[in-house]
Each structure stands twice: as structure tokens, then as C-alpha cells.
Amino acid sequence: MLINHPLLGPRDAQEFVYKGDASLLQRPDPMAEDALEKFTDYAYLRDNPAGEHRELWYHEQGDRSWLVVTRNTLTHEILDVQLASEVAR
């Protein structure tokens, strides 16, 4: 797979480390009443969809940026790539 890095252009997926569902960018509120339950779900449960999936890729062998990649899990087609820092903003 080639990931079209927003700054570096197309890079081999081998340079990246896969870090899972991009919803991990939204941490639950640690001060909330049900924080324990929310963090358990956050850490362990996944939607795991068949089809479009927004996911984190870390460019470990490159510029160390985190990307949010939208990829189809049925075809491996990459539909969109953004810097995680911009998504989280």
C-alpha cells in the first residue's frame, strides 16, 4: 500500500506503524463520573467496520508524523490522508 503523505507525497506503508482506529484521538474526559467505564471502552472496544475506516498511521521510518488515513478495509483503497495534528485541532 502507498500512503499519500500530505507533506512528503506517496510513501510505502512499510515506513509506517499502524496504530488503530482514529477515534482514539478523542480521549474521554478523565474527570467525568463514568470515566472508568469510558476509558475501559476507549482502551479495549473497537467498531472494527467492514468498509470505510479512519485510522492512525505513525510515520516511524520517516518524519515521525501521525496521519489519519481513511481506508476501505474491504479493498485496501486509501481514500483520504490528513495530518493527525490538523484533525485533532
Partner 1 sequence: MDYSVLRVIKEALNNHKGWGPAWRTPTPKPHYDIVIVGGGGHGLATAFYLASRYGMRNIAVLEKGWLGGGNVGRNTTIVRSNYMLPGNEPFYELSMKLWEGLEHELNYNAMVSQRGVLNLCHSDAQRDAFRKRGNAMLLQGADAELLDTEGVRKLYPYLNFEDARFPILGGLLQRRGGTVRHDAVAWGYARAADQLGVDIIQNCEVLGFRIEHGQVSGLETSRGFIGANKVGTAVAGSSGRLLSKAGIRLPIESHVLQAFVSEGLKPVIPGVITFGAGHFYLSQSDKGGLVFGGDIDGYNTYAQRGNMPVVEDVCEGAMGLMPMLGRARMLRSWGGIMDMSMDGSPFIDRTNIKGLFFNGGWCYGGFKATPASGLCFAHLLATDTSHEVATQMRLDRFARGAMIDEKGQGAQPNLH
List of residues contacting partner 1 (CB under 8 A): 1, 12-14, 18-21, 37, 40-41, 43-50, 53, 55, 71, 73-76
Task: Give the other-Cβ count within 10 Å of 84's Cβ.
Answer: 19
Distance of closest approach, residue 33 Cβ to partner 1, in angstroms: 17
C-beta of 10 vs 89, nearer to partner 1: 10
Provide, rounded to whole angstroms, the least separation between the CB of residue 32 and partner 1. Answer: 17
Non-local CB neighbours of 67 within 8 Å, separated by 6+ positions: 3, 5, 6, 16, 56, 57, 58, 59, 81, 82, 83, 84
Shortest Å, Cβ 67 to partner 1:
13
